């Protein structure tokens, strides 16, 4: 049952990646900068907003919110939680969890619940006891890595090639943010590969 679920999940991740890839054909990298400033956050972008932003008629004191960022999505973080991906504990990780607070509360609860269930039921240990399960989890985690790698390629083409400003829209360091998460995916992939016996796969796709 678990393997069947992981196959279905992998199919969906691959479909999502194919849709994401169409961004190369549908948008022009240099035009991204024409509106990027408008989705920049206040927090972490002191050069743009040194005194925060005052919302007249709402708050008297200036506020410091983070901006729009891919780290506020739900599908990839949900995948990480479901497969018990471990992030390196550093400042970049703290950004990751801080940015989660900008999601709707039910999304936050869902991601946290998936992580809780993965730990409570020992999904990683259970998976490593079977080659086919390890292979399917490997394929899912690698699909998450592939999505992030595509995202990183777009960051370089759309942003880094066109501006020297070092911060992402969420106020995180642009050159190290995504590589940090990709590294966590690759570490889990290495662990999973070490538990796969090719002769046990029985023609697994």
148-154 long-range Cβ contacts below 8 angstroms, 24+ apart: 148/76, 148/178, 148/181, 148/182, 148/185, 149/182, 150/17, 150/20, 150/21, 151/20, 151/70, 151/178, 152/178, 152/179, 152/182, 154/23, 154/24
Mean of the per-residue pLDDT values for the chain? 90
Q: Flag whether pLDDT at 190 surpasses 90.
A: yes
Q: What is the mean pLDDT of residues 113-121?
A: 96
Phi, psi of 157 (to 5 degrees): -75, -45
Residue 192 placed within a domain: yes
Domain tally, the chain = 1
CATH of the domain at 133: 1.20.58
Residue 205 placed within a domain: no
* Local structure of 54: helix, strand or coil: coil
Q: Flag whether pLDDT at 175 surpasses 70.
A: yes
Residue 66 placed within a domain: yes
Q: What percent of the chain has pLDDT over 70?
A: 98
Look at residue 204 in the predicted model and tell me its pLDDT.
60
- Tokens describing residue 97: 């969890």
| Per-residue confidence band for 202, with pLDDT thresholds at 50, 70 and 90 | low
Q: What is the mean pLDDT of residues 33-54?
A: 89
| Per-residue confidence band for 126, with pLDDT thresholds at 50, 70 and 90 | very high
Residue 8 placed within a domain: yes
Using CA of residue 200, residue 79, residue 113, residue 96, what is the dihedral sign?
positive
* Start-to-end C-alpha separation, the chain: 17
Q: Flag whether pLDDT at 203 surpasses 70.
A: no
Residue 150 placed within a domain: yes
- Tokens describing residue 100: 């989660």
Q: Flag whether pLDDT at 112 surpasses 90.
A: yes
Least confident of 108-117, 140-149, 163-172, 184-193: 163-172
| Domain span holding position 53 | 2-200
Look at residue 87 in the predicted model and tell me its pLDDT.
82
Q: What is the mean pLDDT of residues 138-154?
A: 94
Residue 151 placed within a domain: yes
| Per-residue confidence band for 147, with pLDDT thresholds at 50, 70 and 90 | very high
Residue 47 placed within a domain: yes
Compute the distance between CA of residue 160 and CA of residue 123 in angstroms, rounded to an integer: 38
What is this structure's pTM? Answer: 0.87
Least confident of 87-101, 115-129, 165-179: 87-101
Residue 90 placed within a domain: yes
């Amino acid at each position: 049952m678990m393997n069947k679920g992981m196959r279905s999940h992998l199919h969906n991740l691959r479909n999502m990646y194919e849709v994401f890839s169409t961004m190369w054909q549908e948008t022009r990298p240099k035009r991204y900068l024409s509106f990027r400033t408008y989705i920049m956050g206040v927090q972490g972008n002191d050069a743009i907003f040194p005194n925060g932003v005052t919302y007249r008629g709402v708050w008297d004191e200036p506020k410091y919110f983070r901006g729009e960022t891919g780290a506020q999505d739900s599908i990839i973080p949900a995948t990480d939680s479901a497969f018990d991906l471990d992030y390196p504990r550093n400042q970049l990780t703290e950004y990751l969890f801080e940015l989660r607070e900008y999601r709707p509360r039910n999304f936050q609860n869902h991601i946290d619940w998936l992580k809780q269930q993965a730990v409570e039921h020992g999904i990683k240990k259970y998976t490593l006891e079977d080659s086919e399960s390890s292979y399917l989890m490997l394929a899912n985690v690698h699909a998450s890595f592939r999505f992030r790698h595509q995202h990183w390629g777009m960051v370089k083409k759309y942003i880094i090639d066109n501006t020297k400003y070092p911060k992402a829209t969420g106020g995180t360091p642009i050159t190290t943010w995504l590589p940090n998460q990709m590294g966590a995916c690759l570490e889990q992939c290495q662990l999973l590969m070490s538990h796969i016996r090719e002769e046990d796969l029985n023609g697994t796709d």
